[in-house]
């Protein structure tokens, strides 16, 4: 019997989201029904609502979540009813050309649930294949990663997207190491996680760049050694001044704007690395002198989900949290109800929060 549950739906481009009663099927083969306990509001949910990801409305939003496995379908062995899980959007296939080359974190054919959740008979597009601003959601078993239930749900859920994306942009994609200098553009949940990841990885200089002084103050708590308000001074000049005139080893863009990508490009040292983790919209373009791309050497990379492997990284990060070595509590700015997601988008736009977390 399908389950009727309350969920947050974006029906049309740019329109406020609404809470609707949707239908969630019982899990079929390889699928898992999860009772969602907490789901963070990520900027990517807002990108979906704005129509900046694709046009497959109506969207079932929410993708940064944790919960308890309620039922499993035929053949599911990695989780069982009662398990505490973080949902992920990288259920690796094990069979695509990237998986077969031993690089599953780039998997090109990740799994989602086969059956669709619906609203009034219309198929919903779950954000990032998850859809977790909902009392229950249906995912592929590989999208549920079992972790230590000692972690509070609202903290654990954040590992499921933004925190993993930021930590991994620094630790996996940017390969930040001991003694490196790093600049992070944009100090929202993702950028602050990149700062925390750089700190964990032993970076020597960590420069936070934002246009909001409140964000810069919080960035220091995550390990930023210097801060730059780029609405008041040129961040490229300021970063060079802080690094002996050279620029940083790794520049991480965590906003998704051409202007900040170009700042990151020019703020890195020769042979340095630029990591783009912010999500651009399809209209955006960057213009760079090709001689600078060539002449500065180094690497220009993009980071999807921090190049993470959920089965490897989620339990490890939860353990670091439980040991007191990774402050995840600081990311939770407020706990809200499922009825407050639209207001949480506005709080995000006003720069008031790192993460609003829906608690169910």
Provide, rounded to whole angstroms, the least separation between the CB of residue 103 and Zn ion: 9
Residue nearest to Zn ion (CB): 42
- The H or E element that residue 235 is part of is helix 235-242
Of the candidate spans 112-120, 171-179, 208-216, 314-322, the one that interacts with ligand NAD by CB under 6 A turns out to be: 208-216
Burial of 327 (0-12, 13-18, 19+ CB in 10 A): middle
Strands (E), the chain: 3-10, 18-24, 31-40, 59-60, 64-72, 84-87, 118-119, 122-123, 125-126, 136-140, 144-146, 181-185, 205-210, 226-229, 248-253, 268-276, 299-302, 332-336, 355-359
Q: Does 188 bind ligand NAD (CB under 6 A)?
A: yes
Select from 200, 211, 320, 347 the one that contacts ligand NAD (CB under 6 A): 211
Q: Scan residues 25-84 and list those touching Zn ion (CB under 5 A).
A: 42, 44
Pairwise CA distance, residues 185 & 195, whole Å: 10
Cite the beta strand spans of 102-170 per DSSP E.
Answer: 118-119, 122-123, 125-126, 136-140, 144-146
The number of residues that bind ligand NAD (CB under 6 A) is 34
Question: Quick one: what does residue 93 bind among Zn ion, ligand NAD, none, with the CB cut-off 5 to 8 Å set by partner type?
Answer: Zn ion
Partner from Zn ion, ligand NAD, none contacting 96, C-beta within 5 to 8 A by type: Zn ion
Least distance CB 343 / Zn ion (angstroms): 18
The piece of 37-45, 134-142, 292-300, 311-319 that touches ligand NAD (CB under 6 A) is 37-45
- Give CA–CA dist 252/350, Å, rounded: 22
- 122-153 b/e (C-beta count within 10 Å ≥ 16 → b): eebbbbbbbbbbbbbbbbbbbbbbbbeeebbb
- The SS3 of residue 227 is strand
The reply to whether 304 sits near ligand NAD by the rule CB under 6 A is yes
Q: 188 vs 223, which CB is nearer to Zn ion?
A: 188
Query: Reduced to 3 states, what is the DSSP secondary structure of residue 318?
Result: helix
Which of 19, 35, 68, 96 binds Zn ion (CB under 5 A)? It is 96
**Chosen residue from 35, 351, 352, 359 binding ligand NAD by CB under 6 A:** 351
Interface of this chain with ligand NAD, residues 273 to 292, rule: CB under 6 A: 277-279
Among 9, 27, 36, 44, binds ligand NAD (CB under 6 A): 44
For the record, the structure tokens of 234 come out as: 């040129």
Q: Which residues bind Zn ion (CB under 5 A)?
A: 42, 44, 93, 96, 99, 107, 109, 161
Q: Which residues bind ligand NAD (CB under 6 A)?
A: 42-44, 47, 161-162, 165, 185-191, 209-212, 215, 230, 254-257, 259-260, 277-279, 303-305, 348, 351
């Amino acid at each position: 019997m399908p389950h009727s549950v309350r969920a947050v739906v974006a029906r049309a481009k740019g329109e406020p989201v609404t809470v609707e009663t949707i239908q969630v099927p019982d899990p079929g083969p390889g699928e898992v029904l999860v009772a969602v306990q907490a789901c963070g509001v990520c900027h990517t949910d807002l990108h979906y609502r704005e129509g900046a990801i694709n046009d497959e409305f109506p969207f079932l939003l929410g993708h940064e979540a944790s919960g308890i496995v309620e039922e499993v379908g035929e053949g599911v062995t990695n989780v069982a009813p009662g398990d505490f899980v973080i949902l992920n959007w990288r259920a690796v296939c094990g069979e695509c050309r990237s998986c077969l080359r031993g690089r599953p974190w780039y998997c090109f054919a990740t799994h989602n649930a086969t059956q669709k959740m619906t609203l009034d008979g219309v198929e919903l597009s779950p954000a990032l294949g998850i859809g977790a601003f909902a009392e229950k959601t249906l995912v592929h078993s590989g999208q549920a990663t079992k972790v230590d239930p000692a972690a509070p749900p609202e903290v654990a859920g954040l590992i499921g997207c933004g925190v993993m994306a930021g930590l991994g942009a620094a630790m996996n994609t940017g390969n930040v190491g001991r003694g490196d200098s790093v600049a992070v553009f944009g100090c929202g949940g993702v950028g602050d996680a990149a700062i925390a990841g750089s700190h964990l990885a032993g970076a020597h200089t960590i420069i936070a760049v934002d246009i909001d002084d409140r964000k810069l103050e919080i960035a220091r708590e995550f390990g930023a050694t210097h801060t730059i308000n780029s609405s008041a001074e040129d961040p490229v000049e300021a970063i060079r001044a802080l690094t002996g005139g050279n620029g940083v080893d790794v520049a991480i863009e965590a906003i998704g704007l051409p202007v900040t990508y170009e700042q990151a490009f020019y703020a890195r040292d020769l042979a340095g690395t630029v990591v783009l983790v912010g999500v651009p919209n399809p209209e955006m373009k960057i213009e760079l002198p090709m001689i600078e791309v060539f002449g500065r050497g180094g690497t220009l990379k993009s980071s999807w989900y921090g190049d993470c492997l959920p089965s490897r990284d989620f339990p490890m990060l939860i353990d670091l949290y439980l040991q007191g070595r990774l402050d995840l509590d600081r990311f939770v700015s407020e706990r809200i109800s499922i009825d407050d997601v639209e207001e949480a988008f506005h709080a995000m736009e006003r720069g008031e929060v790192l993460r609003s977390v829906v608690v169910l």
